[in-house]
Amino acid sequence: MSNEAPRTEEEFNAFFKASYNPTVHRLMRLEARLAQADAQAIVARAFHETSMRWSEVRDPGGFLWDRVVKRTIDHWRKQEATPEIPCDTSERIFVRPAPMDGEPERYMDRMHVEKLIDELSPRDQRAIRLDLEGATSAQLAEALGTTENAARVCLSRAKKRFAKLVDREAEVR
């Protein structure tokens, strides 16, 4: 394949067949924490961008790798911008059944939930908030100044007390 433009579609297809797998493997070697599916998606997008400008490209390998690097940066930025929910949303205090006809709505906004947490004892508040932030049992124990088992018991009891507050509020509404 020559390094002079314009290039043909057949040349691109040959370039793709020869370069796709090595490019995915190179990316995965350089970015060890990247999942294979993500690496393949990044490389596929880079190849698409290369194909769109194929007739202008002078150095296909260099142009392709530049696109791969840019798409990888975009990937990591997107991952950082998508925060994970730091709590187990399957637990009773976070999941409520939909109301039946005639029942009041049980949805509470964040500010209302914060007010309910504020009604708990300072120790329960700390346990609940640390759990919502994703703290481990060891971190919770350290913050509460107790053992891990005692911290888990404290958190469990705090969640039960919080659930009672939520149920009380649901009855009031």
CATH of the domain at 154: 1.10.10
Phi–psi pair at 16, nearest 5 degrees: -60, -50
Residue 131 in this model has a pLDDT that exceeds 90: no
**Residue 88: inside a domain, yes or no?**
no
Report how far residue 159's alpha carbon sits from residue 129's, in angstroms, rounded to the nearest whole number. 11
Residue 108 in this model has a pLDDT that exceeds 70: no
Residues 60-69: pLDDT tens digits? 999 999 999 9
Is 27:80 a contact under the CB 8 Å cutoff?
no
**Residue 94: inside a domain, yes or no?**
no
**Residue 116: inside a domain, yes or no?**
yes
**Residue 95: inside a domain, yes or no?**
no
- Residues 75 and 125 occupy one common structural domain: no
Judged on CB neighbours under 10 Å (0-12, 13-18, 19+), 44 is middle
**Residue 166: inside a domain, yes or no?**
yes
- Residues 73 and 16 occupy one common structural domain: yes
Instruction: Give the chain's domain count.
Output: 2
**Residue 152: inside a domain, yes or no?**
yes
Residue 16 belongs to domain spanning:
9-81
**Residue 93: inside a domain, yes or no?**
no
In this prediction, residue 99 carries a pLDDT of 57
- Residues 161 and 121 occupy one common structural domain: yes
Give how far the C-alpha of residue 121 lies from the chain's centroid of Cα atoms, to the nearest Å. Answer: 32
- Residues 74 and 14 occupy one common structural domain: yes
Judged on CB neighbours under 10 Å (0-12, 13-18, 19+), 123 is middle
**Residue 57: inside a domain, yes or no?**
yes
Please compute the mean of the pLDDT values over residues 75-85 and round it to a whole number.
Answer: 70
Is 154:142 a contact under the CB 8 Å cutoff?
no
- Residues 75 and 116 occupy one common structural domain: no
Report how far residue 106's alpha carbon sits from residue 44's, in angstroms, rounded to the nearest whole number. 46
- Residues 23 and 77 occupy one common structural domain: yes
- Residues 75 and 114 occupy one common structural domain: no
Helix (H) or strand (E) run with residue 154 in it: helix 148-172
In this prediction, residue 95 carries a pLDDT of 47
Please compute the mean of the pLDDT values over residues 41-47 and round it to a whole number.
Answer: 92
- Residues 125 and 70 occupy one common structural domain: no
Report how far residue 8's alpha carbon sits from residue 60's, in angstroms, rounded to the nearest whole number. 12
